[in-house]
Amino acid sequence: MMLVNKNWLLSARQLHVADIFQR
């Protein structure tokens, strides 16, 4: 469960970074 949660956090972070770069 920890590994899945960690992967989800990494994915969310990548989406957040991509959103910042698009702006």
Rg (the chain; Cα; Å)? 10
* pLDDT tens-digit readout, 2-23: 788 888 889 999 999 889 888 8
Q: What pLDDT shows up at residue 5? A: 84
pTM over 0.85: no
CA atoms within 13 A on the CB side of 8: 5
Q: What pLDDT shows up at residue 14? A: 92
Residue 13: both structure tokens together: 């972070």
Distance (Å, rounded) from C-alpha 5 to C-alpha 11?
10
Residue 10: both structure tokens together: 């990494």
- 3-class DSSP string for the chain: CHHHHHHHHHHHHHHHHHHHHHC
